[in-house]
Amino acid sequence: MKLCHHELEVRTDGKGTYEITAEVESAVNRAKIRNGTVTVFVRHTSCSLTTMENAAPAARRDVERFFEELVPEDADYEHDDEGPDDMPSHIRMVLTRTSETVPIVEGKLNLGTWQGIFLFEHRRDSHHRKITLTMIGE
């Protein structure tokens, strides 16, 4: 059984979902782990993770629009030090995910046909986001 970390950096240019499936798959290949798990962990509090449909761009836009409406920028937040997208970013992060653990089976991510792993950016500005991948297996 072996263990391997890999740090992934993702550049984001404003709010939206950014697919990282290929980067995760590539790190798994390089780690030469045939069977095990990879834990994807995002090291931020104003962006998050989600596993979701990766074929239809319209579905992604609907997900993004849903969160814009559920957690609006113009609500009356107490914490708004960094502007109107500050507090909604923290709430959207709480409603989605910080870590996701995906099985590795026979050298491949065991995702379903339409599943992709996404970084969900909640801030308007550009950012370099850090994600730690931890692979455990044999």
Task: Give the binding site for its own copies (CB under 8 A).
Answer: 1-3, 5, 35-37, 39, 41, 43-46, 50-53, 56, 58-59, 61-63, 65-66, 70-71, 77-79, 81, 87, 90-91, 93-103, 105, 110-112, 114-115, 130, 132, 134, 136-138
Hey, what amino acid is at 34?
A: R
Nearer to its own copies, 97 or 124 (CB): 97
Q: What six digits make up the tokens of 30?
A: 């390089």
Residues contacting 83, CB < 8 A, separation 6+: 124
Nearer to its own copies, 74 or 78 (CB): 78
End-to-end CA distance of the chain: 5
Shortest reach from residue 97's CB to its own copies, in Å: 7
Nearest C-alpha neighbor of 21 from the set 38, 43, 3, 45: 38
Nearer to its own copies, 22 or 55 (CB): 55
